[in-house]
Structure 1
Amino acid sequence: MFPTALPTRKRRRPEVAFVGGREEVKFRDVTLFLVERRMGKSRRNFLSNLARSKGFCVDDALSADVTHVVSEGNAAQELWSWLEEQGFRETRDKHVLHISWFTESMSAGRPVPVEIRHYIQNPVVEQRSCAHPSATPESAVSQYACQRRTTLDNHNKIFTDALEVLAENLEFCGNLGQSLAFRRAASVLKSLPAALRHLQETQRLPCLGEHSRAIIEEIFECGSSSRVEEILNDERYRTMKLFSSVFGVGPKTSENWFFRGLRTFEQVLSEPSIRLNRMQTAGFLFYEDISNPVSRTEASALKILVEEAVICVNPSATVSITGGFSRGKEFGHDVDFIIKTPEAGQEDVILPAVIERFKSQNILLYSDFQESTFDLRQLPTHCFEAMDHFSKCFLIIKLKREQETDARAGRDWRAVRVDLVAPPLERFAYALLGWTGSTAVRSTPSSTHQL
């Protein structure tokens, strides 16, 4: 008999590990730590060895010496929660970066400058500041935007412009939470009766987090923010800002066009694979008109047009202008109106009737009517989205030019954007307050909750 063959045990392959001390460290002011979560142990070892072979110092543990944390495939909230559990704290000399910075550095054979696009921002830092505003009794600035008296004279424009660039860039990146935090900070600064003279004056102000104060401090010291300058010179930001200036084109579409290599309107319009929807088509067709600001005089003329149409449909209904013009602004990018109907249920039918009236007058260039999806059973809610469920329509209408004719277009009118909202009668006061406020007010859950 032949002896029974014993099953051979599969020999475990030894881990490929790097033995330190073999490579010369060329960049002693940079210490990397690669996060193993999502990346995997084998890939982490490979990338660590690659970095060491190029003269980088790589720490296998998240020690105090680490200056650059590199992550791949981790959601920002998940990553930062894990880092904080490990005792990691964000400071100016420590960077939490996307793997793209690492790959660019490996290709260059040196640490490339850290740009805004490389950062993985902590999504809760700014929110913490707003959730726990200054409790100093001497502070005269309310944490609630609706309780702050804000004039049209912005004494801190150098700071608010910088914060709004950061907010817009974060919005383009899909980080709406932190974008809102910067907008809140800018809103607080706009409400101040005088210009800031030194950084210490921000200590008692609500909704100014660590990042906002760092930007303000740098502007005090240097006259500008290097981070903001990076954004303004960033091709992605500039391209997305251009594309999103078109009516109907949002951040996602702008980003899609950017990653397809498109940089100009001409390239978008000549790209055969792009199919514009109705709103985008109107946006490009009337771009020159609707990208120019609407004056207060033009807003008053539009109110007359809207009131005539509304009264023709329902003589008992009233029209209120909202948005920036109701706050005293001289110019705006569109004009918002809220229509108040005297009886419950009339709000569901008045907007389609107004649209038909504009059509019969041959002044309607574009319309997008959205029926009410408001559900009283869903209240109370902490989100402004509750108001977004009211019946509304987005229009582009002809406004006759009284003094001049557009010779190039061969017409005596300009296209103007108009938004109409028709809330239920019992919700009119809330809607009027909500749409009178700025973007920061309309986007602040706490302010809506106070309604």
Structure 2
Amino acid sequence: MFKSMKFYFHTAKLSRTRQNLFATQVTKHGGQVVSSSELATHIIVEETSDHSSLPVSLWAGDPSVVGTLWLSQCLKSHTVLDQQLYIVNKPVQKRSSVSPDPPFTSKKQAGNTSSDIDIQKYACSQSSSASSDSCNAAVLSQLKRLAETYRARGDQWRAHGYEKAISAIRRHGKEIISYEEVASLEGVGAKMASKVMEVISTGKIRKVQELCETEQSRVLDLFSNVWGAGPSTANAWYIKGHRTLNDLIEKETLTKQQQIGVKYYKEFSERMSRSEVEEIGRKVTEVALQVDASLATVLCGSYRRGKVTCGDVDVVVIKPDRLNSKTVLTSILAKLKESGFITDDLVSLEKNGNQRKYLGVCKLPGDNRIHRRLDIFVVPESETACAIMHYTGSALFNRSIRQLAAKRDMHLSEHNLAAGVIRQGSEIQNRGHILLTPTEASIFKHLNLEYRPPEERDH
């Protein structure tokens, strides 16, 4: 399969174990592993590495620099796939137009104080309500299509890049009229700026037609939205020749979760009103209080961020630390199933530290009701603020505020906020000490951030 191909594995974030596994498979399928990038026809880099920091020397001699996902998909499908979607482009080297760089000073040595960090670079520092799609609607529409297509194809790195650019343009809040204007935005690189200007000049991005308006993209989008099927599974189904949901039902051996995902595909795709979310939330709350009067519930997710319609329902159940999370969740689920409210299980009682979560399907009683996705999270009272912030989202807000915490030598999770954290690269060497976070506002205060209510976190 890999005859005449010479592979070099770049070590950034690519573990020795994965390198050895890939090397064995490459050799087994006729390829050759070389010790120098200069000898390679294909250079493999880890998907999650910071591609912008890769040495430009990798591109010397014009090899194909591709992500590990390409090689994984080739091995899964037993064929050499088109590299175009997986190509890692040569990073643009930015040069200062003002003066040469001053002597290097490590911020780590100086300590990450407020003055060391440009907080405005982080989406969590700004209100999403100040963002607007109206100023640059055509630009955002085209970028969103590319982000969705790359995510459906499993290229999370590129999808994240487009999402960062979308967030930056929305926060900009003004109509973009020049390349320099968009290129100056945090999270928008030179190539992305060129795509934005392509929309402004022509009304569209050529890449959208090439990538998004194909049968493959349509089918991958369909399949990747089946609950329980990620991009890799969707791609495998496509390679097998499946093109419709009926193909999956008739020709594929589906997991229990995928069977449910196909069965309720249309219903899961239909968004629900805030009033329906509230009705579902009231049902869970009613049962939770029957289990133990000391329990409390909070509706999170897109509902708490103020969205007009929601795709699913996220309910956080807060318990006193003395109660057992598993016992609480098991008791709630038993009552909800007994009444017929919960119809199907997707993920039951998954453990997450001191928390427990359940993912399933529910249906309100009455005519013309449809099946809805329901997630229930049981969290101890001591973790309330961090848990509610996490399960409220958005994903981009969560990623941003965690990155800021790391920059401040802290660690933020759905469980707690810790300070004095010592890292070596991305690995935590010392977990530091847990800070007191009785409210979401206290988390913002520890991070020296202006408090943002949930409706301002919909980035």
- TM-score normalised by the chain length of structure 2: 0.64
Provide the residue aligned with 2:146 in structure 1: 166
How many Å separate the matches in 2 of 1:182 and 1:123?
17
Quick one: which amino acid aligns to residue 413 of structure 1?
R
- Aligned residues between the structures: 337
1:84 aligns with one of 46, 50, 56: 56
Provide the residue aligned with 1:245 in structure 2: 225
Kept after mapping to 2: 8 A contact 1:123/1:177 = no
Quick one: which amino acid aligns to residue 348 of structure 2?
F
How many Å separate the matches in 2 of 1:186 and 1:195?
13
How many Å separate the matches in 2 of 1:121 and 1:288?
36
How many Å separate the matches in 2 of 1:143 and 1:213?
17
Quick one: which amino acid aligns to residue 151 of structure 2?
E
How many Å separate the matches in 2 of 1:307 and 1:317?
9
Quick one: which amino acid aligns to residue 398 of structure 1?
K
- C-alpha spacing 1:119/1:284, structure 2 compared with 1 (3 Å): closer
Kept after mapping to 1: 8 A contact 2:59/2:90 = no
Kept after mapping to 2: 8 A contact 1:184/1:207 = yes
Kept after mapping to 2: 8 A contact 1:123/1:178 = no
Q: Tell me whether 1:288 sits opposite 2:244 in the alignment.
A: no
Q: Tell me whether 1:446 sits opposite 2:403 in the alignment.
A: yes
CA offsets 1:99-155 (integer angstroms, 9 cap, x no match) = xxxxxxxxxxxxxxxx983551249779xxxxxxxxxx9xx9822222210127523
CA offsets 1:148-184 (integer angstroms, 9 cap, x no match) = 1012752333233332333333333433233222212
| Cα distance, 1:71 vs structure 2 | 4.2
How many Å separate the matches in 2 of 1:183 and 1:435?
20
Provide the residue aligned with 1:415 in structure 2: 371
Kept after mapping to 2: 8 A contact 1:164/1:182 = yes
Q: Decide which structure has the larger Cα Rg and report it.
A: 1
- C-alpha spacing 1:83/1:275, structure 2 compared with 1 (3 Å): same
Provide the residue aligned with 1:437 in structure 2: 393
Provide the residue aligned with 2:87 in structure 1: 120
**Structure 2 residue matching 1:423: 3-state secondary structure:** strand
The aligned runs of 1:289-308 (5 Å cut-off) are 289-308=267-286
Provide the residue aligned with 1:374 in structure 2: 353
Quick one: which amino acid aligns to residue 399 of structure 1?
L
The aligned runs of 1:380-391 (5 Å cut-off) are 390-391=355-356
Provide the residue aligned with 2:234 in structure 1: 254
How many Å separate the matches in 1 of 2:90 and 2:161?
10
| Cα distance, 1:360 vs structure 2 | 1.3
How many Å separate the matches in 2 of 1:220 and 1:342?
55
Give structure 1 stretches of 5+ with no counterpart: 1-33, 45-61, 63-69, 99-114, 127-136, 376-389, 406-411
Kept after mapping to 1: 8 A contact 2:146/2:212 = no
CA offsets 1:307-334 (integer angstroms, 9 cap, x no match) = 1111111211111111111111111211
Provide the residue aligned with 2:332 in structure 1: 354
Alpha-carbon RMSD = 3.7
Provide the residue aligned with 1:16 in structure 2: none
How many Å separate the matches in 2 of 1:215 and 1:321?
38
Quick one: which amino acid aligns to residue 283 of structure 1?
G
CA offsets 1:411-450 (integer angstroms, 9 cap, x no match) = x421111111123322221121122222223345515646
CA offsets 1:279-317 (integer angstroms, 9 cap, x no match) = 111112222211111111211111111111111112111
The aligned runs of 1:320-331 (5 Å cut-off) are 320-331=298-309
CA offsets 1:23-60 (integer angstroms, 9 cap, x no match) = xxxxxxxxxxx9854699xx99xxxxxxxxxxxxxxxx
- C-alpha spacing 1:74/1:194, structure 2 compared with 1 (3 Å): closer
CA offsets 1:392-418 (integer angstroms, 9 cap, x no match) = 1112101245xxx4xxxxxx4211111
**Structure 1 residue matching 2:172: 3-state secondary structure:** coil
Q: Give percent identity, aligned residues only.
A: 22
How many Å separate the matches in 1 of 2:56 and 2:243?
39
Kept after mapping to 2: 8 A contact 1:180/1:440 = no
- C-alpha spacing 1:441/1:117, structure 2 compared with 1 (3 Å): same
Kept after mapping to 1: 8 A contact 2:299/2:315 = yes
Give structure 2 stretches of 5+ with no counterpart: 9-25, 32-37, 67-81, 94-114, 413-459
Q: Tell me whether 1:334 sits opposite 2:307 in the alignment.
A: no
| Cα distance, 1:231 vs structure 2 | 1.7
1:175 aligns with one of 155, 179, 193: 155
How many Å separate the matches in 2 of 1:313 and 1:366?
21
